[in-house]
Amino acid sequence: MIEQINILRENGEKKLNSITSSEQLQEWYQQYLGRKGDLTSLLKNLGNLSTKDRPIVGKIINKVKHELQESFELRQKAMRETILNQELEIDDLDVSLPGRPCITGHLHLATQTLRRIYNIFQEMGFQVYEAPEVESDEYNFQLLNIPEYHPARDMWDTFWVNDEIVLRTHTSPGQIWAMREYFPKPIRVILPGKCYRFEQITPRSEHQFYQVEGLAVGKNIRLTDLIGVMSEFAHKMYGAERKVRIRGSYFPFTEPSIEIDMTCSCGDKGCRLCKYTGWLEVAGAGMVHPVVLQNGGYNPEEWSGFAFGMGVERPAMLKHTIDDIRNFYSNDLRFLQQF
């Protein structure tokens, strides 16, 4: 039996040295050291030996097993290195090449525009206040002085969730949320966010879009404060050379209501952007209606305030001469990557 073991070891070592692939290496392992391998079956046969010989032969088998195991590991390591070297040669790895840049995204144009707006108003002491996108009829309309059958509702085409819930048609309901949270403190907030309208989609109108609402409530707030804030905004956002003008308007939640325009970048020459008028709309605005102040919890005898609301995509379109609002939400990277 000892003879048999020695032959096995010699053959094993010899065979191991001639191995050239990892498949062969695996086969070799199965044959010599595996659970059904030659050494294991020799160990199983120990029972046939006399009790005197059994421990001696057992020891020899175990020793050989260890030796073969060691040789196997050495061979395995050597083969791994050879394979790695071969691969390196084929791959022609050049560690001095610059890395491949990872593609990182960037902020969407609408977000960039929003953040510019935040910065400008932040300098004037306004903080950002976020209100819900899904609103009740009460907040979106009634508390803003637009009762159920008020014709002003026609100004907003609405996505109804059910009879009482709407996707907000404007950011104005945020005024009520802010007032109810801040009472009895003075308020200076901007309320940005998505709005939804059941509109025909055209190059100029989408059924979803951003607005930024502004609200200031205090003890002595006047229309001139509103005009001052909006002029400052127009100058910071579009350039100091812009002139601002005020037109009378109507909104149910402001009294008086105004529309704020600024001069177009064409000067007074007139162009397609300003439809040859020389003026561009910036925002709708006005003094917060007493009923709305009251609904927010502020006594209109004591408090006054101004509010404004403006679009976000439109100004970005003006700045970058984008002629179709649908580009904002069609997720075409060729468009988005330009900004």
Sign of the CA dihedral running 106, 108, 114, 117: positive
Which residue's CB atom is positioned nearest to ligand DAH?
A: 309
Which of 12, 174, 309, 315 is close enough to bind ligand DAH by CB under 6 A?
Answer: 309
Q: What are phi and psi of 137, to 5 degrees?
A: -55, -40
Which of 113, 254, 295, 304 is close enough to bind ligand DAH by CB under 6 A?
Answer: 254
Binding mask 192-221 for ligand DAH (x = CB under 6 A): ---------------------x--------
> Residue 207: which of 171, 159, 166 has the closest Cα?
159
Instruction: List beta partners, residue 127.
Output: 189
Residue number with CB closer to ligand DAH (286 or 315) = 286
- Residue 303 CA to its chain's centroid (Å): 39
What gap in Å lies between CA 42 and CA 246, rounded to an integer? 103
> Residue 262: which of 274, 254, 271 has the closest Cα?
274
33-92 binders of ligand DAH (CB under 6 A): none
Q: Is 302 left (phi over 0), alpha (psi -120 to 50) or beta?
A: alpha
Smallest distance, ligand DAH to C-beta of residue 178, A: 12
Structure tokens at 246: 């005020």
Structure tokens at 334: 């060729």
Smallest distance, ligand DAH to C-beta of residue 215, A: 7
103-132 binders of ligand DAH (CB under 6 A): none
286 lines the binding site for ligand DAH (CB under 6 A):
yes
296 lines the binding site for ligand DAH (CB under 6 A):
no
Residue number with CB closer to ligand DAH (28 or 308) = 308
Structure tokens at 277: 């008028």
Q: List, edge to edge, every strand of the sheet that includes 304-311.
A: 127-128, 187-196, 208-218, 304-311, 279-288, 254-263, 244-249
What gap in Å lies between CA 66 and CA 45, rounded to an integer? 19
Residue number with CB closer to ligand DAH (65 or 170) = 170
315 lines the binding site for ligand DAH (CB under 6 A):
no
Binding piece for ligand DAH, criterion CB under 6 A, among 38-46, 64-72, 125-133, 278-286: 278-286
Which of 12, 37, 284, 305 is close enough to bind ligand DAH by CB under 6 A?
Answer: 284
Which of 170, 188, 242, 314 is close enough to bind ligand DAH by CB under 6 A?
Answer: 170
Report yes or no: 209 and 306 within 8 Å, Cβ to Cβ: no
Which of 177, 196, 238, 308 is close enough to bind ligand DAH by CB under 6 A?
Answer: 308
251 lines the binding site for ligand DAH (CB under 6 A):
yes
Which of 307, 317, 322, 325 is close enough to bind ligand DAH by CB under 6 A?
Answer: 307
Residue number with CB closer to ligand DAH (12 or 305) = 305
Q: Looking at residue 144, what DSSP letter applies? A: G
User: For ligand DAH, how many residues bind (rule: CB under 6 A)?
Assistant: 11
What gap in Å lies between CA 61 and CA 45, rounded to an integer? 11
172 lines the binding site for ligand DAH (CB under 6 A):
yes
What gap in Å lies between CA 158 and CA 134, rounded to an integer? 12
Please give the residue ranges that form the binding site for ligand DAH (CB under 6 A): 170, 172, 213, 251, 254, 284-286, 307-309
